[in-house]
Amino acid sequence: PWSTKRLGGALEAACRKAGLTVESFAAGYDIDRAADLERLPIDLDKDSRPARQALRSWLRDIGPSTPRPRVSLVVPVLDDADALQALLAGVRRLSEQPFEIIVADAGGGDGCRKVCEDFACIRLQTRAGRGNQLHAGAMRAAGDAIWFLHADATPPDDAIAHILDHLVAGNVGGFFSFSFAGPQAWHKKLLATLINLRCRFGIPYGDQGLFIDRAAYVETGGFDDTPLFEEVQFVRAARMAGRFTAVDAIIGVSPRRWERDGWFRRTLHNRWLAFGHMLGVSPERLARRYRQAADKRTARC
């Protein structure tokens, strides 16, 4: 079971089976990812053994500088050039820039193409399906970490710093706390509080700016190619690979779907979909019902 939490136990069992004596020591330090290398001096500061302190001195005085991990940003879009332009303008104002921006375009037409050209993004033309788009973007990414953003998100100014600090602290990935963008009202704050409470015990959704170490992403197998709930299995697999927790920062989520459908109706509809998925209803069937409901709303308009 290489690269799994079962490896240590399997090795110990094999050694005992071969008649060898096995002794266990405290967990050591392993460097598998760029974030591990950046965290090394911090961990060595806590180790008083002479050899480790000598290594710490070498790193500080004559050792090579540690390159800062690079963050690739992946944005899936479908006929949403205006939202994409607003997002990229906001990303340009961040205190630290992503290494690259990959737009997985499943049908944005000339509008999205021009926005990508204006902001010097990598544009991937993919078939529709957010899971497929996210995975295609991740496979194209060359950074040490991958950050997934919806086009209507509003990330905090220091988002990249939060991501890198979270990874350097030993997490394989994480997500931002949920908040509705724009003017605040009691119902927005209440719903955001309930969503963040749910994320403490359940699964954060894709609009919360999920991010992950690139090697860990490959280990998880990536996003499922499903029309809905593509992040559920991904987050579960990430949590099997290591710590996948919230950062101490808020991401703004557009309220446009709630304002269009009505706050109570939209919230109830989202819970209905989540309940159906929990009961084992296929994402494809749920997506058909979702589209049917959207068509009815359009017809009424």
Instruction: Tell me the mean pLDDT in the region 254-270.
Output: 78
Domain ranges of the chain: 7-61, 71-254, 260-300
DSSP for 165-228?
A: HHHHTT-SEEEEEEEESSS--HHHHHHHHHHHHHHHHS---GGGT-EEEHHHHHHHT-----SS
What confidence tens digit (pLDDT) does each residue in 9-63 have? Answer: 888 889 999 999 888 776 666 666 666 666 677 777 778 888 888 887 877 776 5
At the fourth CATH level, the homologous superfamily of domain 71-254 is Spore Coat Polysaccharide Biosynthesis Protein SpsA; Chain A (3.90.550.10)
Which two three-digit tokens encode residue 36? 């591990």
Q: Return the SS3 of 244.
A: strand
What's the half-sphere exposure (Cβ side, CA atoms, 13 Å) at 246?
20
What confidence tens digit (pLDDT) does each residue in 62-97 have? Answer: 655 666 789 999 999 988 899 999 999 999 999 999
Q: Kindly report the number of other CB atoms within 10 A of residue 242's CB atom.
A: 16
Considering only CA atoms, which of 151, 152, 169, 149 is closest in space to residue 161?
A: 169
| pTM of the shown model | 0.74
Which of 2-6, 131-135, 138-142 is predicted least confidently? 2-6
